[in-house]
């Protein structure tokens, strides 16, 4: 029996120090042998957001420990690892550097190939750890730093169809949570608040809903919420506002996904696979709404498992495995790239004066 490929993945682009070991299974879904994620919520909570310097210091302190844990749990021997994959961007440069350098040194010491992974490609391929997924497909990537519709045409081949022109969706959830007095990162809590509220109590705007193709905008919601929050007196009103925000987001994604389906179909890809990935893809209301719009438009929705939506290293190892199969190895002088885009030809679409 030939040995199955084993990849060690490392992720440190933001506030999660994560290491995972996965094993290829030929035609079947790869096996996650270990997937350790250490979050830094407690460090950044009092600042209401990630402090890069503190995040990097914590990555440095923990990366050894987390790697040992991942290796121990995987029950593999060091010499069974075929390659080391580490996130090289996008993300916070001081954080990326920790995992990237650690990964390079680890690969060098094992005398095995090193593979630099785009964090967003990790999210894009994360459903391959629980579902069969072939190229091409339409991807909606919804995370704390990015919100994009992309046509995924192969490994490393992305065409952006739409993007946010201001805040990322996860950012919009976190900012709304902050305004409601919920600790960072409040995204997941909004969903809980929303279940206890009446979405009809407050009306929120849906920026660029009827224009700009499948580009998105969320900054106007934050401004509207800021105005409403000043007059809120009861806990119930907070629940109502969270419910209204959740409902508005669902409706925006419903409308914009319809446009994205049309744009994707124009590319004559002959497929109806729609992948939704990134931290916000853990939101059940959003999942249900996207399943609804997919069914209405003859698309089949594929999500990563809930525990693989937010940042983790199994998805980095998954992207590493795909690159390993094509012998796409990197040199040890590969630089961290904090702005590494999936579609490097896509136009910059952020800030005032953007023409849609």
Distance CA 197, CA 181 (A): 16
Among 166, 167, 191, 311, binds Zn ion (CB under 5 A): 311
Distance CA 221, CA 219 (A): 5
Contact positions with ligand KG4 (CB under 6 A) in 310-339: 310-311
What do you get for the CA distance between the two ends of the chain, in Å?
56
Which does residue 173 touch among ligand KG4, Zn ion, none (CB within 5 to 8 A, set by kind)? ligand KG4
145: burial class by Cβ within 10 Å (0-12, 13-18, 19+)? Answer: middle
- Binding segment toward ligand KG4, per CB under 6 A, in 22-30, 98-106, 182-190, 347-355: 182-190
Per-residue interface string for the shown chain with Zn ion, residues 127-156, x marking contact by CB under 5 A: ----------------x-------------
The CB-of-254 to ligand KG4 minimum distance in angstroms stands at: 16
Is residue 49 a contact point for ligand KG4 (CB under 6 A)? Answer: no
347: burial class by Cβ within 10 Å (0-12, 13-18, 19+)? Answer: exposed
Is residue 280 a contact point for ligand KG4 (CB under 6 A)? Answer: yes
Is residue 122 a contact point for ligand KG4 (CB under 6 A)? Answer: no
Is residue 176 a contact point for Zn ion (CB under 5 A)? Answer: no
Is residue 145 a contact point for ligand KG4 (CB under 6 A)? Answer: yes
Beta-strand pair 114-118/83-89: parallel
Distance CA 31, CA 129 (A): 7
Q: What DSSP string runs through 1-25? A: -PPPPEEEEEE-SSSEEEEEEEEEE
Which does residue 127 touch among ligand KG4, Zn ion, none (CB within 5 to 8 A, set by kind)? none
**What is the binding site for ligand KG4 (CB under 6 A)?**
14, 143-145, 170, 173-174, 185, 187-188, 191, 278-280, 282-283, 310-311
């Amino acid at each position: 029996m030939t040995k199955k490929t084993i990849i060690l993945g490392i992720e440190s682009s933001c506030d999660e120090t994560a290491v995972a070991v996965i094993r290829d299974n030929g035609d079947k879904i790869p096996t996650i042998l270990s997937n350790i994620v250490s979050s830094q919520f407690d460090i950044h909570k009092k600042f209401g957001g990630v402090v890069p310097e503190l995040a990097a210091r914590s990555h440095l302190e923990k990366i050894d420990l987390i790697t040992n844990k991942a290796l121990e749990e995987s029950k593999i021997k060091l010499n069974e690892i075929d390659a080391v994959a580490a996130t090289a961007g996008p993300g916070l440069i001081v954080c990326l550097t920790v995992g990237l350098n650690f990964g390079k040194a680890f690969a060098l010491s094992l005398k095995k190939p090193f593979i630099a992974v785009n964090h967003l490609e990790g999210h894009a391929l994360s459903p391959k750890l629980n579902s069969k997924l072939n190229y091409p497909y339409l991807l909606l990537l919804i995370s704390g730093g990015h919100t994009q519709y992309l046509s995924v045409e192969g490994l490393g081949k992305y065409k952006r169809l739409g993007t946010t022109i201001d805040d990322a969706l996860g950012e919009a959830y976190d900012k709304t949570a902050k305004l409601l007095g919920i600790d960072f990162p409040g995204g997941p809590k909004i969903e809980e608040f929303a279940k206890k509220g009446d979405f009809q109590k407050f009306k929120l705007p849906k920026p660029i809903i009827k224009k700009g193709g499948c580009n998105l905008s969320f900054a106007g919601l934050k401004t509207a919420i800021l105005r409403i929050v000043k007059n809120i007196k009861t806990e119930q009103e907070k629940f109502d506002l969270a419910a209204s925000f959740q409902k508005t987001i669902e409706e925006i994604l419903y409308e914009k996904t319809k446009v994205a389906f049309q744009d994707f179909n124009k590319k004559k890809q002959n497929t109806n696979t729609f992948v939704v990935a990134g931290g916000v893809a853990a939101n059940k209301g959003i999942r249900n709404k996207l399943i609804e719009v997919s069914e209405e438009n003859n698309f089949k929705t594929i999500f990563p498992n809930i525990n693989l939506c937010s940042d983790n290293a199994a998805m980095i190892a998954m992207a590493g495995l795909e690159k390993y199969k094509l012998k796409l190895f990197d040199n040890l002088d590969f630089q961290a790239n904090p702005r590494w885009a999936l579609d490097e030809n896509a136009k910059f679409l952020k800030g005032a004066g953007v023409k849609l």
